[in-house]
Amino acid sequence: NEISLVGRLGSDINLRNTAAGKFVGSVNLAVNSGGNNRDVPATWYRLVLWEELAERAHNQLAKGSLVWVRGNISVKTQELPDGLKRQSMEVSVRELHMVAPSNQR
């Protein structure tokens, strides 16, 4: 399931190494589907980036950066301590381009 999104990063990219020594980055992306209507809440997606793409994004992007991404989307289900289940959308990013830096709104 391929998806393309344009949105703003909710934080700086969290970069870490896997047990196999590969770089993996993660960050939340806010997508505003209401245009200029601020009353419409953003939809949040969890982005996962690998290897060179993760390193490059970590070095070049910051919280608030406007980006375009393309990747495969999946739904993750997590059981909370109270027994309720929460679903979130996760995108395994294959392509990422900065549209505007974090200081340009």
- Round to whole Å and give the CA distance between 70 and 62: 18
Answer yes or no: is pLDDT of 102 > 90. Answer: no
Q: Evaluate whether the domain defined by 2-100 bears CATH number 2.40.50.140.
A: yes
Answer yes or no: is pLDDT of 104 > 60. Answer: no
- Round to whole Å and give the CA distance between 23 and 45: 20
pTM greater than 0.75: yes
Contact 84, 77 (CB under 8 A): no
Q: Could you state, in order of their start, the residue ranges of all structural domains in the chain?
A: 2-100
Question: What average pLDDT does this structure show over 66-89?
Answer: 92
